[in-house]
Amino acid sequence: MDVTRIAAAKKYDAAKHWDMTALRLQGLEASPTKKVTLGLSYFLPGGGAEKSSSPLERVYVVVDGEVTVTVGGKDTILGPLDSCHIPPGEERAIVNKTNKVATMLVVMPAPEK
């Protein structure tokens, strides 16, 4: 078993995001996990991610707070323990429109090397 303690989780840069801190919990540099990565994102009020797509699918799970995910011009609000799947190539934008920090888990396949 390989444990990542939150106190030891390392920050990583999430391109095209603002007012957000990302911590790697599993995969890549955080653990020997090969198939997936698990990140923890803290979105400050007004923080978010630009409209963009990824060649990798993503799963978002809101742990606390609320984020608005926009896909195809349609806004969907995710609250605690709500989740969504973003298929490969689908453009999405994220914004925290509240005055409370939003905490979200991000699950993605590990990039092929």
**Which tops the pLDDT comparison, 70 or 113?**
70
CA distance 43 to 107: 16
Contacts of 85 by beta carbon, 8 Å cutoff, 6+ apart: 57, 58, 59
Confidence of residue 75 (pLDDT cuts 50, 70, 90): very high
For the cut 80, the answer to whether the pLDDT of residue 112 exceeds it is no
Confidence of residue 113 (pLDDT cuts 50, 70, 90): low
**Cβ atoms 32, 58 nearer than 8 A:** no
99 to 31, 54, 56: CA distances (angstroms): 33, 28, 31
Per-residue pLDDT of 11-70, as tens digits, reads 999 999 999 999 999 999 999 999 999 999 999 999 999 999 999 999 999 999 999 999
For the cut 90, the answer to whether the pLDDT of residue 84 exceeds it is yes
Name the amino acid, one letter, at 71: V
In this prediction the pTM is 0.94
